[in-house]
Amino acid sequence: MNMIDKTIQFVAIKHEGQYRKGTGIPYITHPFGVGMILQQAGYRE
């Protein structure tokens, strides 16, 4: 398992049951989205 997979798993566990303010959207979508933006911008693990 690479570092990105480990990080996604860790964050998903730590933020389980949390939702974005005023929505029913799981909080994990925010850090996951930021990670995808960074990856597309050329940042490494």
> For residue range 1-45, what is the model confidence (pLDDT) as tens digits?
788 889 889 988 999 999 999 999 999 998 889 989 999 999 988
Cα separation, 3 vs 24, whole angstroms: 28
pLDDT of residue 42: 95
- Give residue 34's domain range: 3-40
Q: What is the pTM of this model?
A: 0.67
Would you say residue 16 lies in a domain? yes
Query: How many folded domains does the chain comprise?
Result: 1
Would you say residue 15 lies in a domain? yes
Would you say residue 45 lies in a domain? no
b/e code 25-36 from CB counts within 10 Å (16+ = b): eebbeeebeebe
pLDDT of residue 3: 86
Partnered with residue 15 across adjacent β-strands are none
Would you say residue 9 lies in a domain? yes
